[in-house]
A and B are shown apart, each in its own frame.
Chain A
Amino acid sequence: MIGWAMAENHPLEIVAGGSKRALGRPPRTDHQLDVSRLSGIVDYEPAELVMTARAGTPMADIQRQLADQQQMLAFEPPDWRKLLASNAEPTLGGVLACNLSGPRRLRAGAARDFFLGFAAINGRGDAWKAGGKVVKNVTGYDMCKLQAGAFGTLSLLTEVTLKVMPKPETSCTLLLHGLADDVAIPTMLRALNTPHEVSGAAHLPSPAARRSGVDAVANGLGGVTALRLEGPAPSVIYRAAELEKLLGHGDRLDAAASERLWTEIASVESLVAGRERYLWRLCPTPARASAVVQAIRARLVSADTLFDWGGGLVWLNLDAEDAGPDGGAAIIRAAMGQVGGHAMLVVAPEALRAATPVFEPASATMDALQCRIKQGFDPGGILNPGRMWEGR
């Protein structure tokens, strides 16, 4: 199929479930390649911490199989269906192609860190593979890293192997109330620098906190800062007490409420409102998170925010009118340039995602290098052209 597309010069949009079609730039293609039938778990050995599945396997199937063995994907893949206004079924290949990671990313690593190997088809139509099916491997270049986050522009994943991890025995979340952003960020960083293995550190400023579905968060006063602890019960109890001694007492969420809150944070539900909005995802140098938001808010007053990853991830929701014709890109990227990091426009109408660079623009040297890499995988520009950058 890809060979045909290459020979006949027909660019393809790769789709499995289609839940993330609205993510990235709108690809300029006249055909879709539906890989949803490349589905099913091929091999799963819980004691080896390894799972191999076809790329189109629904995430729901993966999560169910793992849960049956008290295991999980440690990078906590977020469900962005509400965000992207989709009812479609997210698949494993899509999660990896977009390198989507949830709140535990700050401790456990990103999707790319658990991606051990794959089989794929490049833009020439050649089947190829890389990596392996064991947890430790340095044989050849680490192509998994390159595929993760390439949004299907380098090769079509057909089968993937992942490292899986045991589910923590229990969890609990400490809530601190009333912290302003510029106090909450250093507080989270302080918690992360203790040996208490905080596995989630998020701050919901007052407006976001009030929209939470978790009562203790919604009913609080001011901003709510959440710190998650996971592990064996005696350890979680001890560490929670130690953290409270250090940071002060707030509320404690039990395992069930904790899970609800972190699922909500992962899916950015507290920022998904009904009005027309542009949603940006910023990855700044963590300690500069509140500074960057302040700088942006000085120019874009409608900015509604949510901080995750101890400040390493900032969600920024803008009023369309306030954001202006470029969706706020110039102001946001100038502010990010001051602190280091990158910004992605996640939710915006198709026309805006076509007109404004969705991903952080690269330097000329980096751009040329990425262009040469794309050429090496997909010389005809068949795979998801335009998804990441205009014209390729």
Chain B
Amino acid sequence: MIRMPAPDEAVLARRSEIVDALRRIVPGEGVIDSEPERRAFECDGLTAYRQLPMVVVLPETTAQVSEILRYCHANRIKVVPRGAGTSLSGGALPLQDGILLGLGKFKRILDIDVENRCIVVQPGVTNLGISQAVQAQGLYYAPDPSSQIACTIGGNVAENSGGVHCLKYGLTTNNVIGVELVMMDGEIIRLGGKHFDASGYDLLGVLVGSEGMLGVVTEVTVRILPKPPGARALMIGFATIEGVGHCVAEVIATGIIPGGMEMMDHLAIEAAEAFVHAGYPLDAAALLIIELDGCAAEIDHLIAAVEAIAGRHGATSCRASQSEEERLLFWAGRKAAFPAVGRLSPDYYCMDGTIPRRQIGTVLQRMEEMEAKYKLRVANVFHAGDGNLHPLILYDANRPGELQRAEDFGNDILRLCVEVGGVLTGEHGVGVEKRDLMGTMFNDSDLAQQTRLKCAFDSESLLNPGKVFPQLCRCAELGRVHVHAGNLRFPDLPRF
């Protein structure tokens, strides 16, 4: 298990004073103090890790967020921001000596601006809520993480969330165009807006995916797109994993970027089929679902092209959806893959590495060897288009040692992803979960530079500490400058 930073006893001793101070900023029920109520916030989607927060505060205005942060900054109190708490990497795991800052009350849609193709919302609006707000106009918000019913746009910004459509339509970072941000010292700034690009450093770009460590977002402007006029899905069975790999590679090399391209292995197919009866081919080693969207002329053209490619790579079955109901049925199994796999086993652990796609065969082979080593089974679902793997490790937390074995297995999978040229996380974030693996991808120099950026936003390291970086940030040490002959440039600037 990953260790969190040791709590600050001095802060813990001042708990009741801190609660009172927060009550002065957020009156009424916005400050949650009692243990049973705080319990509801003790974990996020990474449920193996739990910690009761010192106190929970649920502000309703940007001014309150600013005051809370200003107070915490002045009193050196740690803050963990939280959206809906659906993070799969422990990004919103509370701290024993920290305030949990929930943005759940920021639920308003502020401005639907069809002309400028954007919508301004508060961070507690759900991902799906954005698309629903503009569906009457034939528009939608493209990134669609599978938790989109529950997850909030504020959390999406923190984690740079993806989804099945991101190969074609991009991640959160490619679709967020502005934010209002409160920094740890309480200063409120605006980054971006309804216009294109930034002037000066692209701080919006670096904020997205910063896992709640650079600031607290209180307003978000995102790009909305016209809905494609149509979409059809192909469900293609393969006798071998290699066949899938080659088929995906050729689809892309041919110049086709499908709206979605998902792979499931045999165990995932079995689980999903038993759960939703989508008509998946149970005899296949692997299944590929490819969605093509656009106008009818384009879809028909591309379906024919993909069918031909699949045929060349040993597809054992191939069905194109003939109706919207059928398309949704094809997807139903994939979208329910996690709960479906959950029925096979009391617990499962969902991993999230990205690999160069050409390595898929090697990686799945090595994972099979690991299954034998750790005596645990793995079901694989895979965003095949962008190489993002989601191995689901099946285990039983009630059996002594199995959780630890599952974690060790997961870590081995992620190390393997890095070894073959990939990365630790494609869309779930580093959080607590992968924090101690950062060294497999980055050396000290790389991490020091990342930490220096953190210091520019939060010099006391009060915002979501203990996440992402294996070592707590020490801004003063990182700031050391070697000076030759006493010539320091900008000698009047403060060094910290």
* Partner-B contacts on A (CB < 8 A): 6-9, 45-50, 69-71, 99, 101, 105-106, 109-110, 112-113, 122, 124, 126-130, 132-146, 148-150, 154-155, 165-169, 186, 189, 192-197, 231-232, 234-235, 237-239, 242, 283-287, 309, 312-313, 340-344, 359-360, 362-363, 365-366, 369-373, 375-377, 379-381, 388, 392
Cα A375 to Cα B495 in complex, Å, equals 9
Is B456 within 8 A of A169, CB to CB?
no
- Knowing A9-B487, A138-B160, say if A167 contacts B255 (CB, 8 Å): yes
B 427-467 to A, binary, CB cutoff 8 A, 1 in contact else 0: 11110001000100111011111101111110000000000
Question: What residues on B are CB-neighbors of A133 within 8 Å?
Answer: 356, 421
Is A139 within 8 A of B482, CB to CB?
no
Cross-chain contact of B195 among A101, A234, A286, A376 (Cβ < 8 A):
A286
Which residues of B244-262 are within 8 A (CB) of A?
249-250, 252-257
Question: What residues on B are CB-neighbors of A381 within 8 Å?
Answer: 489-490
Question: What residues on A are CB-neighbors of B229 within 8 Å?
Answer: 195
**Closest B-chain residue to A371, C-beta based?**
B493
A218 to chain B minimum Cβ distance, whole angstroms, is 28
- Knowing A136-B171, A136-B388, A373-B456, say if A380 contacts B200 (CB, 8 Å): no
B232 at the interface (CB under 8 A from A): no
- Knowing A47-B357, A377-B449, say if A239 contacts B199 (CB, 8 Å): no
B 386-417 to A, binary, CB cutoff 8 A, 1 in contact else 0: 11100000000000000000000000000000
CB pairs A–B below 8 angstroms (7 shown): A46-B253, A130-B442, A141-B454, A145-B204, A145-B206, A165-B257, A359-B199
Cα A388 to Cα B199 in complex, Å, equals 10
Query: Which one of B162-170, B264-272, B341-349, B369-377 is at the interface?
Result: B162-170
Cross-chain contact of B302 among A106, A138, A232, A342 (Cβ < 8 A):
A232
- Knowing A133-B356, A135-B387, A136-B387, say if A141 contacts B450 (CB, 8 Å): yes
Question: What residues on B are CB-neighbors of A135 within 8 Å?
Answer: 167, 354, 386-387
Closest 6 interchain pairs by CB? A145-B205, A166-B255, A235-B298, A376-B452, A342-B199, A360-B199
A301 to chain B minimum Cβ distance, whole angstroms, is 25
Cα A344 to Cα B229 in complex, Å, equals 38
| Residue of B174, B198, B210 with most partner-chain A CB within 10 A | B198
Given contacts A145-B204, A195-B295, 12 further A-B contacts (CB under 8 A): A45-B356, A130-B449, A132-B354, A141-B209, A189-B115, A231-B298, A237-B297, A238-B296, A286-B116, A286-B117, A372-B455, A392-B490
Cα A69 to Cα B484 in complex, Å, equals 51
A269 to chain B minimum Cβ distance, whole angstroms, is 21
Is B193 within 8 A of A340, CB to CB?
yes
B 462-496 to A, binary, CB cutoff 8 A, 1 in contact else 0: 00000010000000001101101001111001010
Is B200 within 8 A of A362, CB to CB?
yes
Question: What residues on B are CB-neighbors of A138 within 8 Å?
Answer: 159-160, 162, 171, 209, 425-430
Is B356 within 8 A of A48, CB to CB?
yes
Is B226 within 8 A of A143, CB to CB?
no
Report the interface size class on chain B.
Answer: 35 or more
Question: What residues on A are CB-neighbors of B35 within 8 Å?
Answer: none
**Closest B-chain residue to A121, C-beta based?**
B445
- Knowing A9-B487, A138-B209, A360-B200, say if A70 contacts B255 (CB, 8 Å): yes
Cross-chain contact of B449 among A101, A122, A144, A165 (Cβ < 8 A):
A122
Is A142 within 8 A of B430, CB to CB?
no
A140 to chain B minimum Cβ distance, whole angstroms, is 5
Is B208 within 8 A of A142, CB to CB?
yes
Is A146 within 8 A of B250, CB to CB?
no
B197 at the interface (CB under 8 A from A): yes
Cross-chain contact of B356 among A69, A134, A154, A363 (Cβ < 8 A):
A134
Cross-chain contact of A136 among B117, B226, B252, B386 (Cβ < 8 A):
B386
A-B contacts, CB under 8 A, total: 292
Question: What residues on A are CB-neighbors of B116 within 8 Å?
Answer: 189, 285-287
Question: What residues on A are CB-neighbors of B298 within 8 Å?
Answer: 231-232, 234-235, 238
Is A139 within 8 A of B441, CB to CB?
yes
Question: What residues on B are CB-neighbors of A186 within 8 Å?
Answer: 115
Q: Is the interface of B mostly helix, strand, loop or mixed?
A: loop
Cα A234 to Cα B138 in complex, Å, equals 23
Question: What residues on B are CB-neighbors of A165 within 8 Å?
Answer: 257
Q: Is the interface of A mostly helix, strand, loop or mixed?
A: mixed
B423 at the interface (CB under 8 A from A): yes
Cross-chain contact of A146 among B117, B205, B383 (Cβ < 8 A):
B205
Question: What residues on A are CB-neighbors of B115 within 8 Å?
Answer: 186, 189, 193, 286-287
Question: What residues on B are CB-neighbors of A150 within 8 Å?
Answer: 201-202
Is B195 within 8 A of A342, CB to CB?
yes
Cα A135 to Cα B252 in complex, Å, equals 13
- Knowing A142-B206, A195-B227, say if A113 contacts B170 (CB, 8 Å): yes
Is B301 within 8 A of A193, CB to CB?
no
Cα A46 to Cα B254 in complex, Å, equals 10
Cα A295 to Cα B111 in complex, Å, equals 25
Cα A7 to Cα B226 in complex, Å, equals 55
- Knowing A45-B358, A143-B450, say if A388 contacts B200 (CB, 8 Å): yes
B110 at the interface (CB under 8 A from A): no
Cross-chain contact of A369 among B189, B195, B208, B447 (Cβ < 8 A):
B189
Is B228 within 8 A of A149, CB to CB?
no
Which residues of B186-241 are within 8 A (CB) of A?
187, 189, 193-206, 208-210, 226-229
Is A47 within 8 A of B421, CB to CB?
no
B83 at the interface (CB under 8 A from A): no
Is B196 within 8 A of A136, CB to CB?
no
B424 at the interface (CB under 8 A from A): yes
Cross-chain contact of A139 among B201, B296, B423 (Cβ < 8 A):
B423
Is A146 within 8 A of B453, CB to CB?
yes
**Closest A-chain residue to B213, C-beta based?**
A141
Cross-chain contact of A128 among B173, B426, B445 (Cβ < 8 A):
B445
Question: What residues on A are CB-neighbors of B201 within 8 Å?
Answer: 146, 149-150, 154, 370, 373
Is B452 within 8 A of A377, CB to CB?
yes
B102 at the interface (CB under 8 A from A): no
